[in-house]
């Protein structure tokens, strides 16, 4: 009896001590965690914060050791200059229309192809899907020169005579590549959609078939609407990547008034435009930084409203589990 009582007492004391230790441990841990997260967030936000701070400074503030975060000579001239040289209003509208259109085409095309891989069994399925993975692995930098020449003298394996058609400087290379899932990171999108449609139940489809819907109708009427969250996620990623891309854009659309092109020419056009004054590299750098801010501003606004779609994206894509 007494022994049992003693045991119980010791057990209670042990438990209390363990609880106390646990509590101290968890407080210490949440402190460490807080500092770590703040530090990492700081590293991530630093370039953005410095850019914002510098964008309001005059050039002389850059050399002034006493000026740190708050500009001594507050000015909006950097924005005005960058705005003007980037031809911002037109370039913005063009960029937005371009990126939305391309992202839409890519999403629809990749969803269609991904569905084909997910639902139908056919002989070449394995090989074709291996080729999709292959397009992910080959760097665009390796094939962009033949691609460029392919569109510069577009002849579809010699079908069009007289050296083919020049498609450089038009949006057709992008449209063609997006419709056929060979645009930017499209292999990845096909892969994602294959996973998504594989994970969806077959019952809905079978019900649609019983009701006499064709395969295409079933896909566009039942399956695609059912996968809307993943569709939105892929669309947003395609949009952001297309918006940010300057590699293919500056190669295929070298003189278009769209943001990646006008931004990449900004340093050049600023030092050219100032004429006799002669722009210093610091000044050009200041304008380029301000231009970069103007460039990512629409993305930041989009991200603020759609962050859930980005952050929960991987769970929607069936990439895991």
Partner 1 sequence: MKLLSRFRLTLDRRESLAGYLFTLPFTIGFILFFLRPFIQSVVFSLNELVIVPKGYELHSVGFENYRYALRVHPTFVRTFVDQVIAMLTTVPAIITFSFFAAVLLNQEFRGRTLARVVFFLPVIMSAGIVLRLEQTDYMTSVMSTTDSDTQIFSMASLSGFFMQLQLPQTLLTYIMNAVNSLAQIIRASGVQILIFLAGLQSIPPSLFEAADVEGATKWESFWKITFPMLSPLILTNIVYTIIDSFTSPANALVRLIRDTAFGGVGYGVSTAMGVLYFLAVSVVLTIAIAIISPRVYYQQ
Q: What residues from 275 to 314 belong to the interface with partner 1 (CB under 8 A)? A: 281-282, 284-286, 288-289, 292, 295-296, 299-300, 303, 307, 310-311, 313-314
Binding mask 90-119 vs partner 1 (x if CB under 8 A, - otherwise)? -------------------x--xx-xxx-x
Q: How far is the CB of 55 from partner 1 (least distance, A)?
A: 11
Q: What residues from 179 to 198 belong to the interface with partner 1 (CB under 8 A)? A: 179-182, 190
135-141 long-range contacts, Cβ below 8 Å, gap at least 24?
Answer: 135/182, 135/186, 135/187, 136/185, 136/187, 136/188, 136/191, 140/184, 140/247, 140/248, 141/247
Find the binder of partner 1 among 15, 45, 97, 228 (CB under 8 A): 45
Binding mask 61-80 vs partner 1 (x if CB under 8 A, - otherwise)? -x-----xx-----------
Select 12 or 149, whichever has its Cβ closest to partner 1.
Answer: 149
Q: Is residue 206 within the footprint of partner 1 (CB under 8 A)?
A: no
Give the chain's length. Answer: 321
Q: Is residue 320 within the footprint of partner 1 (CB under 8 A)?
A: yes
Q: Is residue 82 within the footprint of partner 1 (CB under 8 A)?
A: no
Select 37 or 97, whichever has its Cβ closest to partner 1.
Answer: 37
Q: Is residue 121 within the footprint of partner 1 (CB under 8 A)?
A: yes
Q: What residues from 241 to 280 belong to the interface with partner 1 (CB under 8 A)? A: 241, 243-247, 260, 263-264
**Total binding residues toward partner 1, as defined by CB under 8 A:** 101
Which tokens in the block code for residue 214? 């064709």
CB 199 within 8 A of CB 115: no
Interacting span for partner 1 (CB under 8 A) from 73-81, 87-95, 96-104, 173-181: 173-181
Q: Is residue 39 within the footprint of partner 1 (CB under 8 A)?
A: yes
CB 233 within 8 A of CB 242: no
User: Using H for helix, E for strand and C for coil, what is the string for the chain?
Assistant: CHHHHHHHHHHHHHHHHHHHHHHHHHHHHHHHHHHHHHHHHHHHHHHHHHHHHHHCECHHHHHCCCCCCCCCCECCHHHHHHHHHCCHHHHHHHHHHHHHHHHHHHHHHHHHHHHHHHHCCCCCHHHHHHHHHHHHHCCHHHHHHHHHHHHHCECCCCCCCCCCECCCCCCHHHHHHHHCCCCCCHHHHHHHHHHHHHHCCCHHHHHHHHCCCCHHHHHHHHHHHHCHHHHHHHHHHHHHHHHHCCHHHHHHCCCCCCHHHHHHCHHHHHHHHCHHHCCCHHHHHHHHHHHHHHHHHHHHHHHHHHHHHHHCHHHHHCCCC
Find the binder of partner 1 among 2, 3, 4, 120 (CB under 8 A): 120
Q: How far is the CB of 93 from partner 1 (least distance, A)?
A: 18
Q: What residues from 212 to 231 belong to the interface with partner 1 (CB under 8 A)? A: 215, 219
Binding mask 130-159 vs partner 1 (x if CB under 8 A, - otherwise)? -xx--xxxxxxxxxxxxx-xx--x--xx--
Q: Is residue 27 within the footprint of partner 1 (CB under 8 A)?
A: no
Find the binder of partner 1 among 1, 3, 4, 123 (CB under 8 A): 123
Q: Is residue 125 within the footprint of partner 1 (CB under 8 A)?
A: yes
Select 1 or 197, whichever has its Cβ closest to partner 1.
Answer: 197
Q: How far is the CB of 42 from partner 1 (least distance, A)?
A: 7
């Amino acid at each position: 009896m007494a022994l049992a009582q003693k045991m119980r007492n010791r057990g209670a004391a042990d438990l209390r001590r363990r609880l106390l230790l646990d509590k101290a441990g968890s407080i210490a841990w949440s402190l460490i965690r807080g500092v770590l997260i703040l530090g990492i967030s700081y590293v991530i936000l630093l370039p953005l914060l410095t850019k914002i701070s510098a964008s309001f400074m005059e050039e002389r503030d850059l050399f002034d050791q006493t000026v740190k975060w708050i500009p001594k000579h507050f000015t909006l001239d950097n924005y005005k200059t960058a705005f003007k040289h980037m031809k911002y209003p037109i370039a913005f509208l063009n960029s937005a229309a371009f990126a939305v259109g391309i992202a839409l085409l890519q999403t629809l095309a990749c969803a269609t192809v991904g569905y084909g891989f997910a639902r139908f069994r056919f002989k070449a399925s394995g090989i074709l899907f291996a080729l999709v993975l292959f397009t992910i692995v080959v760097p665009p930098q390796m094939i962009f020169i033949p691609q460029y020449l392919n569109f510069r003298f577009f002849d579809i394996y010699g079908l069009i005579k007289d050296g083919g058609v020049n498609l450089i400087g038009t949006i057709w290379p992008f449209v063609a590549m997006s419709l056929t899932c060979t645009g930017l990171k499209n292999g990845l999108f096909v892969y994602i959609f294959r996973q998504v449609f594989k994970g969806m139940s077959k019952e809905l489809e079978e019900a649609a078939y019983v009701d006499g819907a064709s395969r295409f109708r079933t896909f566009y009427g039942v399956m695609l609407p059912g996968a809307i969250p993943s569709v939105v996620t892929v669309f947003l990623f395609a949009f952001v990547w297309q918006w940010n891309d300057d590699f293919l854009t500056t190669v295929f659309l070298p003189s278009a008034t769209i943001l990646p092109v006008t931004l990449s020419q900004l340093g050049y056009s600023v030092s050219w435009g100032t004429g006799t004054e002669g722009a210093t590299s610091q000044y050009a750098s200041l304008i380029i930084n301000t231009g970069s801010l103007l460039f990512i501003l629409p993305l930041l606004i989009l991200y603020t409203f759609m962050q859930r779609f980005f952050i929960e994206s991987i769970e929607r894509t069936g990439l895991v589990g």
